[in-house]
Amino acid sequence: MTRRPATIAASARPSPHAPGAIVPPLFASDTYCWEDADTKPPFDYSRTVNPNRAMLAEALAELERAAGGIVTGSGQSAALLALLPLETGARVVAPHDCYGGTYRLLAGFADRGRIDLAFVDMTDPAAYRAALETETALVWFESPSNPLMRVTDIAARAAEAKAAGARTIADNTLLTPCRQRPLELGCDLVLHSTTKAINGHADLFGGALLAADPALVEELDWWANAAGLNGSAHDAWQTLRGLRTLPLRIDRQEESARRIAAFLSGHEGIETVHYPDIGFMLSFVPRGPATLILARLELISLASSLGGFATLVCVPATMTHRGMPPEAQAEAGIAPDLLRLSVGLEEADDLIADLARALG
């Protein structure tokens, strides 16, 4: 039976070591005893395998309809994990307006000749097709894109990538499996920064890389262990706690984001609003100086990160996307005074009042 997200997130996951416990215990032990030296126990060393990571991976895999996945120490270590199996010089096609940290990692690899990288506008079918004419190992999707909230037709693009023989990955951090399931849209891999909405409480770092094919899960598991990219037991335990309320939080945050987008769209002090009508993220360009608005906000805090309980505003050009050179920002359409909002759990009326006052 296919269970719905709220049921998956809230279900107790009893551990065989603590029968009946509604909350799984934290397995802090770094190592486990062997019965004899020839019989490897299911859990032996915590970098390799840990019950808390396994429980979180299982819940995330069910949410994303994946065969399984790897829980990593951060979203970026999940991105690194996706790149590790590539041959040296393999071609990667990625969105020109991807998350700043993804841009930095891919560009860093390309600069040292580890990969052959092409950034493309994923919303331009002709440019995308042209990029795939050269043999490609991996196609990276991020939709809606961050910070411009551009929507890519993942199903159509993934089918083209597959036909060209490329592996596909989607960063689903912004929508979460409550709103989009990239594996069902034909992707091979789905990536999360669980630091964001999945944990939702802004108090840890984590990531996940999930795959549709069990053989690919096994391959990634090997690399994560080899490179030491797995996350901590404590973070996995706490992330599962945050995950319990994910579907509720997404409903509420999305409802508020929709209302805020409508308010900003109708405000004379705003030039453009980017809201894809789904999710808790939006961005906008004010007519007046952004610095003045930021200085006047009281409830909304100026900080990077997204998806948590607190509403945060940021200036992508100098904050989240500073790893992207100014020319690349201009190319991607990231204006210096573009503001990005991650809508949290405060009352929407209070958030709108804060924005209204700041916009004067």
Residue 196 lies near ligand PLP (rule: CB under 6 A) = yes
Q: Which of 99, 263, 280, 284 binds ligand PLP (CB under 6 A)?
A: 99
Q: Would you say 199 or 256 has its CB closer to ligand PLP?
A: 199
d(CA 239, CA 242): 5
d(CA 318, CA 48): 38
User: Applying CB under 6 A, which part among 37-45, 98-106, 132-140, 149-157 lies near ligand PLP?
Assistant: 98-106
Between helix 348-359 and helix 246-265 the angle, nearest 10°, is 30
Question: Which residues belong to the active site?
Answer: 47, 99, 171, 196
All residues at 6 or more sequence positions from 346 whose CB lies less than 8 Å from its CB, including other chains: 256, 299, 310, 311
Q: How far is the CB of 194 from ligand PLP (least distance, A)?
A: 7
Q: How far is the CB of 314 from ligand PLP (least distance, A)?
A: 11
Residues written for the chain: 360
Q: Would you say 173 or 180 has its CB closer to ligand PLP?
A: 173
User: Applying CB under 6 A, which part among 73-81, 83-91, 217-225, 286-294 lies near ligand PLP?
Assistant: 73-81
Q: How far is the CB of 77 from ligand PLP (least distance, A)?
A: 7
Residue 345: other Cβ atoms inside 10 A: 17
Question: From residue 188, how far is each of 110, 161, 182, 197 by CA, in Å?
Answer: 22, 11, 8, 22
Q: Would you say 206 or 247 has its CB closer to ligand PLP?
A: 206
Query: Which one-letter amino acid corresponds to residue 45?
Result: Y
Give 36's Cβ-side CA count (13 Å radius). 2
Give 182's Cβ-side CA count (13 Å radius). 31
Residue nearest to ligand PLP (CB): 75
Q: Kindly write out the interface string for residues 131-150 of this chain, putting x where it contacts ligand PLP by CB under 6 A and - elsewhere.
A: ---------------x----
Q: Which of 103, 109, 140, 205 binds ligand PLP (CB under 6 A)?
A: 205
d(CA 346, CA 360): 21
For the chain, how are helix, strand and coil distributed in percent, rounded to 5? 35, 15, 45
Q: Which of 59, 137, 293, 306 binds ligand PLP (CB under 6 A)?
A: 306
Q: How far is the CB of 316 from ligand PLP (least distance, A)?
A: 11
Q: Which of 69, 101, 147, 279 binds ligand PLP (CB under 6 A)?
A: 101
Q: Which stretches of the chain bind ligand PLP, using CB under 6 A?
A: 74-76, 99, 101-102, 146, 171, 173-174, 193, 195-196, 205, 207, 306
